[in-house]
Chain A
Amino acid sequence: MSSPTREKTLSTDRLLSLPQKRRFEITRWILLIVGIYVAAVVLNLLIFNEAWDWPLVWSYLFSQRIMLGVLNTVWLTVLALMFGLLTGLIVCLARLSRFSVLRGAAFVYVWIVRATPPLVILLLIYFLGVLKPTLGIGLPFLPYVVEWPTNDLITPFTAAVVGLSFYLGGKTAEIFRSGFIAVGAGQREAVQALGLGPWTALSRVIGPQAIRVIIPPMANEVVTMFKNTSLVSVVGFAELLTTTQRLYATNFETIPMLTVACVWYLALTSILMVGQLRLERKFGRGFDRRVFRHDENQEFGPDVPVTVAVPLSESINQKGGVR
């Protein structure tokens, strides 16, 4: 505690030679103590509670059955993501189409998906055979040209893939749409004025800008969908949760088995989140705060614009060497 007068009497050199130190704040210490306490409670619950039975968890974590369940979950996620995102993109483009039939169909699709819980969708698809014993190709009210028994087509696996894709398609269609809406009309006009084709416009200009807006809600939806794979246990597809349930149905180690599942969900979600971070970096280019990269050719400070354009004759000379 030095008095102000004493500070003033210090010479500048002396002042500058003083080492810097962080200010003492009581709040920091209180928070630290509370934090340690909470961590201790959680650790106590996690580690020193016999019911977790960590050795058992560990012994099952990489067991063959669990690994098979993890593999099935990942495989199901990948397939449902692929079909779901594709469906979502198509439905979104249909919603933005200039053809009213496409707009209407897409709207109805989104409406139904929103109105139906994913669990119900899965069950409905799984039990489709009751509603319609055969599936085939043909015109309405006429006999099919070719047909298959529904129960041959709808296995637990296909029901899971179709159900989750169907659900994800409806949810992500709206996320895609929000992205496209967010891209300004000026960009669309520039695309039009340059005569860019619809595919180029989507893949090079509108898409990359839309993706930037889409990534956070999309990542949310993808993680939700990844965990929604656990719903598939109702149709009996042996993904991670179903496997775990079957295990504790026989060994009665409910909590340890569920912990095994949780550890895997945590690990896989972390991977997805790393993916999100990478995508955000990639598509953030050109949008981040005005950052001037170092430029050797620039004589002035970065913020000083070159006020006179190089006249045509000079620019040609520059290219062809000074003459």
Chain B
Amino acid sequence: MNASTELILELVRVEKKFGSFQALYGVDLSIAAGSVTCIVGPSGSGKSTLLRTINGLESIDGGAIFFKGELCHEEVRGGYRVPVSRTKSREQVLNFGMVFQSFNLFPNLTALQNVMLAPKTVRGLSQSEAKQVAKEHLARVGLGDKLGNYPNELSGGQQQRVAIARALAMQPEVMLFDEPTSALDPELVHEVLEVMRSLANDGTTMVIVTHEMNFARDIADELVVMADGRIIEQGAPREVLSNPQTERGRAFFAAIGEQHEKQVS
């Protein structure tokens, strides 16, 4: 990929605590514009937490997050770092599109209304403009024929694709995926991954927390392995997979390999 060295997102020594439990221990991560970063690792390793700090769903207890070189979610005031105002926070969050594991579609709205809502009310598009935008994005994820359906009338895969369209419709600079296929039945995973693949081919900057190792190997420019709140492996996917540098990394990939063999046999 032509992942130029222009950094769009930098996480510097990011710390996160939940009470006495430390979820992230000074994580450093740089994301190049147009690149695809996949974060893998055992459950409880802090992958989702890391992703959620990026768009401010989790506040951080140390370190900093820079978007296009500017401090994000916090600002300096009188020698202190303070959270940005609610208004500013809402502006900053629009740089990121979020896709959740459990979709989090609004169940009281149709697919079209789910996608239209934010462009209309936040971006200020007119009803017809918003409708046009929403239709385009739903068509892009292959759901041009499901505009009027409510989420509970759609399969899991379809719901997740609506959620992707909903995030895309705000034209974010970075798309964040938090285990987008983990809540899906196995036969529905493929359709969601295909949509994500087409986004990657379009040069969308993406950060993906996933358990789909084959997908990560195919799609990622950068593969990040986390364990116990730290990044333990990082690099081009094939290198990381073929030559893990740490004992934990080797153990993790070995465990996943066994799972795969079990599934195949």
Contacts and interface: CB of A to CB of B under 8 A. Distances in A.
Tell me whether A and B are bound partners: yes
Interface string A296-323: 0110000101111111100100110000
Interface in B134-158: 136, 139-142, 144-146, 148-153, 155-158
A78 B237 CA distance: 66
A286 B191 contact: no
A205 to B, nearest CB: 5
B24 interface: no
B100 A190 contact: yes
B208 to A, nearest CB: 15
B114 to A, nearest CB: 9
B108 A197 contact: no
Contacts of A318: 139, 144
B8 interface: no
Nearest to B152: A290
B107 A286 contact: yes
Contact of A306 (B104, B122, B142, B202): B142
A8 to B, nearest CB: 45
A193 B93 contact: yes
A311 B57 CA distance: 31
B241 interface: no
18 contacts: A190-B105, A193-B55, A193-B97, A193-B167, A196-B117, A200-B117, A200-B122, A205-B106, A290-B153, A293-B148, A293-B153, A295-B149, A305-B156, A305-B187, A305-B188, A307-B188, A315-B142, A319-B136
Interface stretch (B33-41, B74-82, B193-201): B193-201
A291 B153 CA distance: 6
Given A286-B109, A286-B150, A295-B145, A305 B140 contact: no
B230 interface: no
A311 B94 CA distance: 26
Contacts of A305: 155-158, 187-188, 191
A215 B104 CA distance: 23
B108 A209 contact: yes
Given A192-B57, A200-B121, A305-B158, A312 B190 contact: no
Contacts, number: 137
A286 B151 contact: yes
A194 interface: yes
Nearest to A292: B153
Interface in B42-59: 55-57
Most chain B Cβ neighbours within 10 Å, of A192, A212, A293: A192
Contact of B90 (A195, A212, A297, A312): A195
Nearest to B52: A189
A193 B57 CA distance: 7
B73 to A, nearest CB: 12
B122 A194 contact: yes
A286 B150 CA distance: 5
Q: Which 7 A-B pairs have the closest CB atoms?
A: A305-B155, A193-B98, A310-B142, A297-B145, A190-B104, A309-B142, A286-B150
Given A193-B57, A287-B107, A298 B191 contact: no
Contacts of A196: 90, 117-118, 121-122
The secondary-structure label for the interface of chain A is loop
A208 B109 CA distance: 9
B9 interface: no
Interface string A181-201: 000001101101111111010
Interface of B: 55-57, 86, 90-91, 93-94, 96-98, 100, 102, 104-110, 117-118, 121-122, 136, 139-142, 144-146, 148-153, 155-158, 161, 166-167, 170, 187-188, 190-192, 194-195, 198, 201-202
Interface string A46-83: 00000000000000000000000000000000000000
Nearest to B158: A305
A198 B57 CA distance: 16
A308 to B, nearest CB: 6
A224 B144 CA distance: 48
Given A312-B202, A318-B139, A193 B96 contact: yes
Given A190-B106, A209-B107, A305-B157, A285 B150 contact: yes
Given A196-B118, A287-B108, A307-B190, A315 B139 contact: yes
A290 B155 CA distance: 10
Interface in A156-188: 186-187
Contacts of B170: 194-195
B17 to A, nearest CB: 19
A287 B57 contact: no
Given A192-B57, A200-B122, A305-B158, 15 more contacts: A192-B93, A193-B93, A193-B167, A194-B117, A196-B90, A197-B90, A204-B109, A212-B108, A286-B110, A287-B108, A308-B142, A309-B191, A309-B195, A312-B202, A319-B139
Most chain A Cβ neighbours within 10 Å, of B102, B118, B151, B166: B118
Most chain B Cβ neighbours within 10 Å, of A212, A288, A312: A312
